[in-house]
């Protein structure tokens, strides 16, 4: 429960409520009646497992815990393409438009839940995240007891990632790698991340891999290597270079339909490859996505032939 001044729609519209139940009912009005039933049945708890009642006061910074009903129960099943698998981890090619983890109305339509159903394993968890609009390599851990060793790779920044991104061309980025360093901040409830003064916490290397022209003008295919993992880091840094990504509805300025996926023209950002020393085997492991910008309708229009030779060559360079 956020405190006064937080960018929260309930606080902005109604002020600080008297009780925790009032806040949750206002935050999820479509489920208010259902939530009241859960409270009456004693199924809602606070921090430490204390049962929440209709009289429990609103406590800024505290949490209330409950299981929301699955809103997409009738959603068609998702079959994930497996890129790599062993007894500890699975790497899948996350489609554009699919959440990495359950969020809001996307429960079954998330990689984690789809993987748990596909592989009959309720312990599967994501080791990192990709934005819903981003496609490409996503690592999953099969068993809870193994997560620590694999999470440590990301915490210690020993995992090497490369992305493909499509954007316009300018004179700030060419064949030589350009490094972008800044401080990025993401506030809960605010859709965009932003750069601010202060200690650097986000570093990204960018280089132009290929130029191409289609009916919409001249574009560049960029190889992008984030050295840190801030929310929306690539999108923020590419925008700061004057190169917002093709298909991006959120940067530089959010569109009214920024949260609606366009399957014919998704965000043209692909987690192309991920490389790491396997904590269990000690082997250098490289996993590559099978997605390419040529998978996108917007790319195919006007230059289908480019999807053959040059992209294959770039794929070898990226690995």
Q: CATH number for the domain including 181?
A: 3.30.2350.10
Is 148 in the same domain as 228? Answer: yes
Burial of 87 (0-12, 13-18, 19+ CB in 10 A): exposed
Question: Which of 279, 250, 277, 244 shows the shortest CA–CA distance to 262?
Answer: 250
Is 198 in the same domain as 138? Answer: yes
Is 186 in the same domain as 239? Answer: yes
The answer to whether 133 and 266 are in contact (CB under 8 A) is yes
The per-residue pLDDT for range 120-131, each reduced to its tens digit, is 998 999 999 999
Query: Does residue 316 belong to any structural domain of this protein?
Result: no
Is 60 in the same domain as 185? Answer: no
Mean pLDDT of 260-271: 86
Mean pLDDT of 251-265: 84
| Residue 156, domain extent | 81-299
Burial of 157 (0-12, 13-18, 19+ CB in 10 A): exposed
Mean pLDDT of 175-204: 94
Read off the pTM: 0.74
Is 107 in the same domain as 247? Answer: yes
Query: What CATH number does the domain containing 50 carry?
Result: 3.10.290
Is 173 in the same domain as 242? Answer: yes
Which contiguous run of DSSP H or E holds residue 34?
A: helix 32-40
Of residues 64 and 238, more confidently modeled: 238
Question: Where does a domain end: 43, 66, 89?
Answer: 66
Least confident of 56-60, 84-88, 211-215: 211-215
Query: Does residue 313 belong to any structural domain of this protein?
Result: no
Is 61 in the same domain as 197? Answer: no
Query: Does residue 305 belong to any structural domain of this protein?
Result: no
Question: What is the percentage of the chain residues whose pLDDT exceeds 90?
Answer: 61
Q: How far apart are CA 86 and CA 172, in angstroms?
A: 42
The per-residue pLDDT for range 307-319, each reduced to its tens digit, is 444 444 343 333 3
Burial of 103 (0-12, 13-18, 19+ CB in 10 A): exposed
Mean pLDDT of 160-167: 96
Say how many domains are in the chain: 2
In sign, the C-alpha dihedral spanning 301, 302, 307, 313 is negative
Query: Does residue 312 belong to any structural domain of this protein?
Result: no
Is 53 in the same domain as 106? Answer: no
Is 52 in the same domain as 140? Answer: no
Query: Residue 53 has what pLDDT?
Result: 94
Query: Does residue 304 belong to any structural domain of this protein?
Result: no
Q: How far apart are CA 104 and CA 110, in angstroms?
A: 10
Q: How far apart are CA 61 and CA 39, in angstroms?
A: 20
Is 40 in the same domain as 100? Answer: no
Is 155 in the same domain as 221? Answer: yes
Question: Which of 126, 131, 130 shows the shortest CA–CA distance to 192?
Answer: 131
Burial of 186 (0-12, 13-18, 19+ CB in 10 A): middle
Confidence of residue 258 (pLDDT cuts 50, 70, 90): confident
Mean pLDDT of the chain: 87
Is 133 in the same domain as 260? Answer: yes
Query: Does residue 280 belong to any structural domain of this protein?
Result: yes
């Amino acid at each position: 429960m956020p405190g006064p001044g937080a960018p929260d729609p309930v606080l902005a519209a109604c002020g600080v409520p008297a009780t925790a139940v009032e806040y949750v009912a206002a935050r999820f009005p479509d489920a208010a009646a259902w939530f009241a039933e859960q409270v009456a049945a004693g199924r809602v708890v606070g921090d430490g497992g204390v049962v929440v009642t209709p009289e429990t006061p609103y406590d800024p910074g505290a949490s209330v815990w409950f299981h929301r009903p699955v809103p997409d129960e009738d959603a068609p099943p998702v079959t994930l393409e497996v890129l790599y698998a062993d007894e500890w981890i699975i790497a899948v090619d996350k489609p554009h438009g699919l959440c990495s983890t359950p969020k809001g109305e996307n429960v079954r339509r998330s990689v984690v839940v789809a993987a748990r159903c596909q592989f009959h394993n309720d312990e599967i968890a994501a080791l990192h995240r990709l934005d819903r609009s981003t496609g490409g390599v996503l690592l999953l851990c099969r068993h809870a007891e193994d997560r620590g060793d694999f999470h440590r790779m990301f915490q210690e920044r020993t995992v090497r990632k490369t992305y493909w991104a499509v954007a316009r061309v300018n004179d700030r980025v060419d064949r030589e790698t350009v490094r972008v360093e800044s401080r990025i901040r993401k506030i809960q409830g605010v859709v965009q991340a932003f750069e601010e003064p202060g200690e650097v916490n986000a570093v990204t290397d960018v280089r132009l891999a290929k130029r191409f022209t289609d009916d919409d003008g001249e574009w560049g295919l960029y190889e992008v290597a984030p050295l840190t993992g801030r929310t929306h880091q690539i999108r923020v840094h590419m925008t700061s270079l004057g190169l917002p990504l093709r298909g991006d509805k959120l940067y530089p300025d959010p569109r009214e339909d920024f949260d609606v996926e366009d399957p014919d023209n998704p965000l043209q950002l692909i987690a192309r490859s991920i490389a790491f020393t396997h904590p269990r085997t000690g082997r250098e492991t490289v996993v590559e996505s099978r997605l390419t910008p040529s998978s996108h309708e917007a790319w195919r229009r006007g230059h289908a032939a480019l999807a053959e030779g040059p992209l294959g060559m770039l794929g070898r360079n990226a690995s």
